[in-house]
């Protein structure tokens, strides 16, 4: 595969993607630079959601990465543009020669962020709605002629990483019965694993999975995910590999997030912010992981 750094964004026309854009009244405040990349996708639960598709320069069918945002959503509140972390990872994957689909689980459901909503009252859940979204995105991508249908990875951040883990759960009820091929691999940054371990005591992963965790993360503690990975792998499922970065807190891979403490649901005080060394290492780790997974069979 050509991994040359030169990448351009191809405007996605309605003809090219063979899909109608969802009702404009729900997305009228989306930044105009995003609109040409916006595609409508039917979630597995029948909900119409949106995504933003970017393609590398290639005449061949390429691998793809589906990106799942965290609890604060994918778009900025004021200008409704892609957030900095999403933009940075989009550009990293494009430079690797992959198509990128950034999946928006919130906007069409009427939410911009759910971080401050009590965990017991959240209207959109990683174990409920969002795996349907992920599989809706997978099936949509597999119908596109410019995508290699057997080389699609699923990646998530925080709430999106929890979604990733629920999506690749071997017994996930959201997995379509007639799915021809699943995600090739999955990866996630700082998911919360406490609820997952309680709800799915028999958890095993259906596809190889890589977790990127911060040792100093007190929002989504790393130890439950380390335990989940060890338990799930020992049960005979696909390997779940964990990388732990010392000194790194939540959002350590963000390109420019000041280290700070914020208040989240239930008045919890949590640390987050960029850790340059951990960020650099995790970027190279993900690149290597996907290169290995996507190499021609």
What is the pTM for the complete model shown? 0.90
Considering the chain, what is the average pLDDT of its residues? 91
Name the burial class of residue 295, with classes exposed (0-12), middle (13-18) and buried (19+) by CB atoms within 10 angstroms of its CB.
exposed
Residue 121 CB contacts under 8 Å (≥ 6 apart), including other chains:
none
Average pLDDT over residues 229-241: 97
Candidates 25, 116, 33, 106; CA nearest to 69 is 106
d(CA 18, CA 63): 19
pLDDT the model gives residue 183: 98
CA–CA distance, 203 with 187 (Å, rounded to integer)? 16
pLDDT at 150 over 90: yes
Predicted pLDDT of residue 27: 56
Q: Half-sphere exposure (CA, 13 Å, Cβ side) for 278?
A: 25
Nearest to 164 by CA among 93, 240, 233: 240
Structural tokens at position 162: 């929890």
- Provide the residue ranges of all domains of the chain, joining segments of one domain with +: 14-294
- Under DSSP, the state recorded for 158 is T
pLDDT tens track for 77-95: 887 899 999 999 999 999 9
Rounded Cα distance between 205 and 225, Å, is: 13
Report the C-alpha gap between 106 and 285 in whole angstroms: 29
Residue 28 has a pLDDT of 61
Q: Does domain 14-294 have CATH number 1.10.10.10?
A: no
Cβ atoms of residues 150 and 64 within 8 Å: no
Alpha-carbon span 268 to 52, nearest angstrom: 32
Question: How do residues 198-227 score in pLDDT, each as one tens digit?
Answer: 999 999 999 999 999 999 999 999 999 999
Instruction: Report whether pLDDT(4) > 70.
Output: no
- Please spell the DSSP secondary structure of 178-240, one letter per residue: T-SS--SEEEEES---HHHHHH-TT--BSS-EEEEEETT-SSS-HHHHHHHHHHHHHTTSB-E
């Amino acid at each position: 595969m050509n991994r040359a750094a030169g990448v351009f964004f191809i405007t996605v026309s309605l003809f090219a993607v063979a899909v109608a854009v969802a009702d404009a009244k729900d997305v009228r405040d989306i930044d105009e630079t995003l609109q040409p990349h916006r595609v409508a996708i039917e979630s597995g639960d029948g909900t119409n959601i949106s995504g933003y598709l970017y393609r590398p320069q290639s005449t061949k069918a390429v691998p793809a990465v589906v990106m799942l945002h965290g609890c604060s959503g994918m778009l900025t509140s004021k200008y409704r543009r892609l957030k900095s972390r999403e933009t940075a990872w989009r550009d990293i994957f494009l430079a690797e020669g992959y198509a990128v689909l950034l999946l928006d689980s919130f906007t069409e459901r009427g939410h911009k962020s759910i971080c401050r909503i009590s965990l017991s009252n959240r209207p959109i859940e990683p174990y409920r709605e969002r795996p349907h979204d992920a599989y809706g995105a997978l099936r949509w991508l597999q119908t596109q002629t410019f995508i290699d249908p057997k080389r699609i990875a699923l990646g998530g951040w925080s709430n999106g990483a929890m979604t990733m883990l629920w999506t690749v759960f071997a017994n996930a009820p959201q997995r379509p019965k007639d799915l021809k091929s699943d995600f090739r691999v999955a990866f996630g940054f700082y998911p919360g694993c406490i609820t997952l371990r309680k709800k799915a005591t028999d958890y095993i992963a259906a596809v190889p999975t890589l977790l990127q965790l911060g040792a100093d993360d007190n929002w989504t503690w790393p130890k439950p995910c380390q335990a989940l990975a060890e338990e799930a792998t020992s049960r005979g499922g696909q390997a779940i590999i964990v990388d732990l970065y010392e000194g790194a807190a939540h959002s350590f891979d963000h390109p420019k997030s000041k280290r700070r403490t914020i208040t989240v649901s239930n008045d919890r005080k949590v640390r987050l912010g960029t850790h340059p060394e951990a960020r650099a290492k995790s970027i190279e780790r993900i690149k290597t992981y996907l290169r290995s997974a996507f190499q021609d069979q």
